[in-house]
Amino acid sequence: MANQTESYPNDRGKKEDKISVLSGPTGLRLRFARLEISSGIDGWGRTMIRVPKAASFGFALAISASSIFALIYGSLGLNGYGAFTASYLSLTVIMIAVFGSLEGFRFSILDIPVLTLIACAGISLSRNPQQIEFRELVLLGLTVTAYFAGRSLVKEDVPVLRAVCFWISLAILSVGTALTVPYLVLHGELGRPFVLGFDNATTAFSVSLGILVILLLSSEYRSPTWVRNVLVPLIAFSMAVFAASMVRFSLLAIMVCTALSALLLKQQRRFALSMLAILVASTAFGLLARFDNANLYVRYAIEGARGEVSPGGISSATILPPSYAARRNPEATTADCESVNTRNSIAIRKQLISDATNLIPRAGLFGFGFMSFGRLGCFEGASPHNDLLQAFVEFGWMGGAAFLTLIALIPLLLIKPARFDGDLRFVFLLNAFMIMLSMAYGQIGRDLPLFLVLGLAVSVLSSNDGSAASRVRFHMLKWGTGPK
């Protein structure tokens, strides 16, 4: 690893700071700053300590939280421990906020939808008092706080953030894939392997796979050949393992991000398309390796599309039932609810979406209240598994519109600069990936990684950047570059 020292002007242009520049195996130029005080004082007169590596470490731990929880709790034989979960998430958010940078912070027009969403959530909670577990309120508060923590991350530190995310995601993916294989071989008769006692562990590990693919796609040609030669087989093998584990939506989101990368950068299109072909082939191989299980999910998909059981009146659940069945809501007695196969996850998702779309017209300006969908839908305690639909139902038309504005504008505003800057391409693809996951797995009160990466994107777009040399200006729907 080459090591050298580089000088660059600080934000005020008064003094040059010395930082260590490491050219790592990922081809990313890693800037590990010494403990530095950025110009000493922030805009509010407070002394700020900015440590990019520490803030990036908190970011990487936060977006990989689900995988880390599966590994920790599974190893200890626990289903979960609320105090540890809250403490872990709180510490990651605090690390980002404390060691990030608020110097030069500027309010962005994209902060308005977030503030509107928060206001609508508060009004909805006050107008619809109901029994909500304290844990859910804490997680909602942490999720909102994560957005503002993400706003303290600056563009000049994205190379450090990418490097830290690379190593943490690589470690999680390697361990997760290695743990999944024996469960597939020894306990593969059910639809999903219970890795460390969790049926959704492979889905969590697949998020780290997605982050690793995004990092590889956004590294341009700075990655040494041997790194790609090592990473691509690992990615292909992990993709096949997770496909065999019946992971669906996150693998599809990874493929979509790869296709977006091919569209963004003409110079890297050949590599991105080759990567996409490898991902598709690996997925097909994984499904064929467990053909009976894949066939079961095809039957489920047919049932979900038709809204009926398989021909001959035999449900696919009677052939090879999954290990989990949704609980019907006792108050939901409609014909649609009664006819849903509670072991068919595809049919359940279809019904949840149907419930949400039926509730939205009656939600009003401020919705039915946080966590209300679990009382109003067909399945007890369930969420729509879609953050946008949940926002409309629980926080009302205003809250839903605010959230829609946020997740629609950010990718649109990042597309153009992402074509010319690998760091911005990473931010764009990561946001696209997390937004897609929130449309399939989302529960808005627990989607801390989504709000964290949204905060990062807004920070970059609104020029919350301590470097005058690399600052970019955000003017409504127009992107321009140049020094402040």
Please say which residue of 322, 355, 384 terminates a domain.
384
Q: Are residues 283 and 299 in the same domain?
A: no
Q: Are residues 328 and 184 in the same domain?
A: no
| Strand duo 478-481 + 16-23: pairing | unpaired
> Is pLDDT above 80 for 335?
no
Residue 25: which pLDDT band, with cuts at 50, 70 and 90? very low
* Whole-number pLDDT of residue 24: 42
Q: Are residues 374 and 437 in the same domain?
A: no
Q: Are residues 284 and 302 in the same domain?
A: no
Q: What is the mean pLDDT of residues 368-396?
A: 90
% of the chain residues with pLDDT over 90: 49
Give residue-wise pLDDT tens across range 279-292.
Answer: 999 999 998 888 76
Q: Are residues 43 and 111 in the same domain?
A: yes
Residue 51: which pLDDT band, with cuts at 50, 70 and 90? confident
Inter-residue contact 218 to 422 (CB < 8 Å) = yes
3 state DSSP class of 104: coil
Q: Are residues 357 and 301 in the same domain?
A: yes
391 vs 37, higher pLDDT: 391
Q: Is residue 390 part of a domain?
A: no
Dump strand ranges (E) for 228-282: none
Residue 228: which pLDDT band, with cuts at 50, 70 and 90? confident
Q: What is the mean pLDDT of residues 255-273?
A: 91
Give residue-wise pLDDT tens across range 400-413.
Answer: 999 999 999 999 99
Residue 223: which pLDDT band, with cuts at 50, 70 and 90? low
> Is pLDDT above 50 for 472?
no
Q: Is residue 205 part of a domain?
A: yes
Q: Are residues 94 and 114 in the same domain?
A: yes
Q: What Cα–Cα distance (Å) separates residue 475 from each residue in 112, 161, 362, 419?
A: 14, 26, 36, 18
Q: Is residue 448 part of a domain?
A: yes
> Is pLDDT above 80 for 43?
no
3 state DSSP class of 330: coil
Q: Are residues 344 and 438 in the same domain?
A: no
Inter-residue contact 358 to 389 (CB < 8 Å) = no
Residue 189: which pLDDT band, with cuts at 50, 70 and 90? low
* Whole-number pLDDT of residue 474: 38
Residue 46: which pLDDT band, with cuts at 50, 70 and 90? very low
255 vs 483, higher pLDDT: 255
Please say which residue of 384, 409, 426 terminates a domain.
384
Q: Is residue 394 part of a domain?
A: no
Q: Is residue 278 part of a domain?
A: yes
306 vs 269, higher pLDDT: 269
Q: Is residue 26 part of a domain?
A: yes
Read off the pTM: 0.81
Q: By residue range, what is the domain housing residue 367?
A: 292-384
Q: Are residues 405 and 372 in the same domain?
A: no
Q: What is the mean pLDDT of residues 433-459?
A: 94
* Whole-number pLDDT of residue 265: 82
Please say which residue of 332, 359, 384 terminates a domain.
384
CA 209 vs. chain centroid, Å, equals 12
Q: Are residues 148 and 267 in the same domain?
A: yes
Q: Is residue 389 part of a domain?
A: no
Strand order in the sheet with 2-9: 2-9, 16-23, 29-32
Give residue-wise pLDDT tens across range 57-77.
Answer: 999 999 999 999 999 999 998
Average pLDDT of the residues of the chain: 79
Q: Is residue 391 part of a domain?
A: no
383 vs 434, higher pLDDT: 434
* Whole-number pLDDT of residue 332: 63
State how far the Cα of 66 lies from the Cα of 69, in Å rounded to an integer. 5
Inter-residue contact 55 to 158 (CB < 8 Å) = no
Q: Are residues 358 and 406 in the same domain?
A: no
Number of residues assigned to the chain: 484
Give the number of domains in the chain. 2
Q: Are residues 33 and 86 in the same domain?
A: yes
Dump strand ranges (E) for 240-308: none
Give residue-wise pLDDT tens across range 104-122.
Answer: 677 889 999 999 999 999 9
How many CA atoms lie within 13 Å of 143's alpha carbon, on the beta-carbon side? 21
* Whole-number pLDDT of residue 240: 96
State how far the Cα of 147 lies from the Cα of 114, in Å rounded to an integer. 9
